[in-house]
Chains A and B, each alone.
Chain A
């Protein structure tokens, strides 16, 4: 994990965010200096004259008029102009270097933001090389990854502070952003456009891997789900097809709805429920039985499975590596 503040953006881990960090520090330091200087000017100005009192004293004091003071304004404005001009030029320069999308990206992703999860589509050279995952984006280290953003329902915003600034995912229009991780790591992302009840719990993770590891992962993701090996798994598969298949897809089975996340490789993910819960058997059971406890308002309904059904379901789901 990248440090104690997973969403802090004063440090970066990728080229796009890295371009912005020095500019951020520059405007931050200029701003702090300005506050300190103005604060000092006000403080000293006030302390210079010690008459402290109420109405009587105010009206008794003479109306003085020494110096016209206009040069304060001119000096102030000129001094303000210098850091502002630098900021303006720097901004335009930085914008030019990070705004445009890479012309020939090494990897192209289509990310669709839904209430409240992320659908990630990987494009291969052929349709059979194309697959979808949810809430976890794997990218190869040091490669430029173009992300096309789509709004699935309402407006969301895609943000991985250590790698890239925000870009909105707006229904009816396609926005683009790009990522390039400088080193391997797990970088937290978060929706930052208010999108309803569970806006707070609409996270995801970007996992940057060396190219070879990424290719292995990709190959694994292309596999369809294995057939059930035990009677319990078979009963579990039946449940998945009958119940979960209303919303979810498991490639290689008849569960093929794309209303919710693709579950084909569910167990390969680090987290579930849009990066809200760790992916372990306990959390998974809890989530299936009562999603509303973790994410009130989530579109996944409570399942009310019997103990036996839950055990069967888990037996099957755990094969989805």
Chain B
């Protein structure tokens, strides 16, 4: 429904008075209430990033323990129970609690700045998605800490995950935790989609948005479609376990393969959801250091979307050995091979950008450029597993372990660390130490490849995955030792990175607004940005607002200092989905503790479900109801504003 703008927005110039006024309107209140109630996307983004990095460290420690156990044949450092819990928790942590949230964190922080707006479309939902992420991480880890973490892999195939074979609380923690986390993902995805289509600055038509927006947007669209599938699957599993239903139990007419379909129709697109935004970071960051725009911007955007669409059609390639009919195998094999094309478009766009530019080698650039190679290594091993007969040999061996780590570390961790070097100055106002950065990069790069490249060979020599020990004489011993050593070196590289973050936070050189000479809108505001982001809403005239002078290709110029002031309260501008024409002014919510309280109530509810204590479930439910009531209670500041009465004084 198209609505007219209720009032003509005031056009004004960026000046100190305006800034002071906006500051008073947008600043988060001090104290605990402000801390728990903030809806500022920058604050939420940073919380996401820090939480995800803490979980990366936890998952990394688990990985190192696993690698010690596998360092040589017939070792008994861990019991099989411990090993299984460690590898399952490692997978769950890295995939669900690090890889996706870290990207949500960067996107949360950067999106409104990239889009030229003041906040996300639904700031309270944004806060809620963070709290739920934190709550579900605590929920899942509370299981691990009491010795009941997931122990049947992050993919937890039935019937092994059923109560008959897995009677402990392990799987219940995991099932309920995943349903809980799914709420965060869904809410976040909806928020990103609406933000992308409704809150862009005037003039930022759909063809002018950065690739990172495309990455997170397509990932969010995918999440919105597939997360319900997996939440449902986990719910059905929980029902099977608690109430004796037979969704997945063959004895009662259930189908074990149903689980795999529900899981992988989520699980495969999810892989793209945790790499496409990171690829977007590279697509936006790399050109800055190459000192030229990305080659084939539109093609890369198109490729991003096509990868996601094709990504829906390939989930069966996780199930080639399950006895599905040959025709369906051929189809999914073909689809999995064809997905290489859009990926190739992106890779060659990056390479052309490097070749046709004049790269300045910084630490961030090193991470972005090395990611291209790691992306290709992870990609070609994916192409190998796409061929069904070959996959019958490769699957469930360490070759696939190598593949998934090249994908997740190569296409997620490397870009994320690069992005941290790139945007840290924006977030903190300080530059990260370049010298330490080089050391960290080369340690990480060497450690990663020493650790994971030989793993391909271990897999080709037939080492199955998820085995807690292996006999000597299989040809795997030396390779495993090398992998263990490499993984420790890699961990040292990560530690150097963390150390650099802390050191630079304390004593980094001042960054200034635009230390790298970046081209997008976030570099036009101070570092760190003020709570309101932009004093006046920019009016965008090209893809590279800050490079217009240097590129000198358009007649029109982006206006950064004169535009809509929107200072009658906490206001945001909504624009049209395609052309970003101003549509209306909306009020955005003040800080509110309801999202936090709702999350706490939900945690009570989930613990009640875990323990099947109806009284706790009831209390949690009541708490949720109360928190929702508080959240949804009609308030004037949420209504679209009427034309202002000029005589009435404006309260800051």
Cα distance A66–B471 when bound, in Å? Answer: 58
How far does the Cβ of A271 sit from chain B's closest Cβ, in whole Å?
11
Q: Once the chains bind, are B390 and A24 in contact (CB under 8 Å)?
A: yes
Q: Once the chains bind, are A55 and B515 in contact (CB under 8 Å)?
A: yes
Q: Once the chains bind, are B330 and A77 in contact (CB under 8 Å)?
A: no
Cα distance A100–B389 when bound, in Å? Answer: 12
Q: Mark B282-301, 1 if CB is under 8 A from A, else 0.
A: 00000011011101100100
User: Cβ of B499 < 8 Å from any Cβ of A?
Assistant: no
Q: Once the chains bind, are B464 and A58 in contact (CB under 8 Å)?
A: no
User: Cβ of A88 < 8 Å from any Cβ of B?
Assistant: yes
How far does the Cβ of A97 sit from chain B's closest Cβ, in whole Å?
9
Q: Mark B578-615, 1 if CB is under 8 A from A, else 0.
A: 00000000000000000000000000000000000000
Interface stretch of the complex, out of A118-126, A167-175, A234-242, A244-252: A167-175
How far does the Cβ of B623 sit from chain A's closest Cβ, in whole Å?
38
Other-chain residue from A5, A52, A70, A297 in contact with B461 (beta carbon distance below 8 A): A5
Cα distance A168–B391 when bound, in Å? Answer: 13
User: Cβ of B165 < 8 Å from any Cβ of A?
Assistant: yes
Given the known interface contacts A6-B462, A61-B360, the answer about A87 and B337 at a Cβ–Cβ threshold of 8 Å is yes
Other-chain residue from A99, A157, A176 in contact with B329 (beta carbon distance below 8 A): A99
Q: Once the chains bind, are B475 and A194 in contact (CB under 8 Å)?
A: no
Other-chain residue from B256, B288, B387 in contact with A91 (beta carbon distance below 8 A): B387
User: Cβ of A62 < 8 Å from any Cβ of B?
Assistant: yes
Q: Once the chains bind, are A58 and B467 in contact (CB under 8 Å)?
A: no
**Which A residues are CB-close (under 8 A) to B345?**
73, 76-77
Interface residues on B, range: 35 or more
Cα distance A297–B255 when bound, in Å? Answer: 26
How far does the Cβ of B178 sit from chain A's closest Cβ, in whole Å?
18
How far does the Cβ of A219 sit from chain B's closest Cβ, in whole Å?
33
Interface residues of A in 216-232 (CB under 8 A from B): none
User: Cβ of B187 < 8 Å from any Cβ of A?
Assistant: no
Cα distance A167–B323 when bound, in Å? Answer: 7
Given the known interface contacts A8-B461, A172-B250, A193-B396, the answer about A198 and B348 at a Cβ–Cβ threshold of 8 Å is no
Given the known interface contacts A63-B550, A69-B296, the answer about A154 and B361 at a Cβ–Cβ threshold of 8 Å is no
User: Cβ of B568 < 8 Å from any Cβ of A?
Assistant: no
Which chain B residue lies CB-closest to A79?
B344
Which chain B residue lies CB-closest to A75?
B348
**Which A residues are CB-close (under 8 A) to B349?**
69, 72-73
Other-chain residue from B80, B334, B377 in contact with A200 (beta carbon distance below 8 A): B80
User: Cβ of B516 < 8 Å from any Cβ of A?
Assistant: yes
Interface stretch of the complex, out of A33-41, A103-111, A258-266: A33-41
User: Cβ of A190 < 8 Å from any Cβ of B?
Assistant: yes
Q: Mark A43-78, 1 if CB is under 8 A from B, else 0.
A: 001101101111101111111111111101101110
Q: Mark B153-187, 1 if CB is under 8 A from A, else 0.
A: 10001111000110000000000000000000000
Q: Once the chains bind, are A196 and B393 in contact (CB under 8 Å)?
A: no
User: Cβ of A212 < 8 Å from any Cβ of B?
Assistant: no
Q: Mark B375-397, 1 if CB is under 8 A from A, else 0.
A: 01100110110111111111111
Other-chain residue from A64, A195, A297 in contact with B160 (beta carbon distance below 8 A): A195
Which chain A residue lies CB-closest to B380?
A31
Interface size on A, residues (CB 8 A): 99
**Which B residues are CB-close (under 8 A) to A190?**
462, 464
How far does the Cβ of B242 sit from chain A's closest Cβ, in whole Å?
19
Q: Once the chains bind, are B250 and A88 in contact (CB under 8 Å)?
A: no
Given the known interface contacts A54-B434, A59-B517, A64-B357, the answer about A98 and B80 at a Cβ–Cβ threshold of 8 Å is no
How far does the Cβ of B468 sit from chain A's closest Cβ, in whole Å?
5
Cα distance A42–B365 when bound, in Å? Answer: 12
**Which B residues are CB-close (under 8 A) to A281?**
none
Q: Once the chains bind, are B296 and A58 in contact (CB under 8 Å)?
A: no
Q: Once the chains bind, are A73 and B464 in contact (CB under 8 Å)?
A: no
Given the known interface contacts A5-B474, A8-B461, the answer about A95 and B425 at a Cβ–Cβ threshold of 8 Å is no
Q: Once the chains bind, are A23 and B547 in contact (CB under 8 Å)?
A: no
Q: Once the chains bind, are B376 and A38 in contact (CB under 8 Å)?
A: yes
Q: Once the chains bind, are A58 and B322 in contact (CB under 8 Å)?
A: no
Cα distance A27–B392 when bound, in Å? Answer: 14
Cα distance A200–B360 when bound, in Å? Answer: 49
Q: Mark B404-438, 1 if CB is under 8 A from A, else 0.
A: 00000000000000000000010000010010000
User: Cβ of B511 < 8 Å from any Cβ of A?
Assistant: yes
Q: Once the chains bind, are B80 and A31 in contact (CB under 8 Å)?
A: no
Q: Once the chains bind, are A38 and B351 in contact (CB under 8 Å)?
A: yes
**Which A residues are CB-close (under 8 A) to B393?**
9, 17, 20, 24, 161, 165-166
Q: List 27 A-B contacts (CB under 8 A).
A: A4-B473, A8-B475, A35-B377, A39-B373, A42-B354, A55-B515, A55-B516, A58-B515, A58-B516, A64-B291, A65-B292, A66-B356, A72-B295, A77-B341, A77-B344, A81-B341, A87-B387, A91-B337, A95-B329, A155-B256, A165-B391, A173-B323, A190-B462, A199-B464, A199-B467, A200-B469, A296-B80
Please list the residues of chain B having a beta carbon within 8 angstroms of any beta carbon in chain A.
79-81, 84, 152-153, 157-160, 164-165, 250-251, 254-257, 288-289, 291-293, 295-296, 299, 321-323, 326, 329-330, 333-334, 337-338, 340-341, 344-345, 347-349, 351-362, 369-370, 372-373, 376-377, 380-381, 383-384, 386-397, 425, 431, 434, 460-471, 473-475, 509, 511, 514-517, 519, 547, 550-551
Closest 8 CB pairs of A and B: A7-B462, A165-B392, A172-B250, A76-B348, A59-B517, A200-B467, A72-B352, A175-B323
Please list the residues of chain A having a beta carbon within 8 angstroms of any beta carbon in chain B.
4-10, 17, 19-20, 23-24, 27-28, 30-31, 34-35, 38-39, 41-42, 45-46, 48-49, 51-55, 57-70, 72-73, 75-77, 80-81, 84, 87-88, 90-92, 94-96, 98-100, 115, 149, 151, 153-155, 157, 159, 161, 164-168, 170-173, 175-176, 190-201, 276, 296-297
Extra pairs beyond A51-B358, A69-B352, A80-B341 (8, CB < 8 Å):
A5-B474, A7-B462, A48-B355, A49-B359, A55-B515, A164-B392, A168-B321, A195-B160
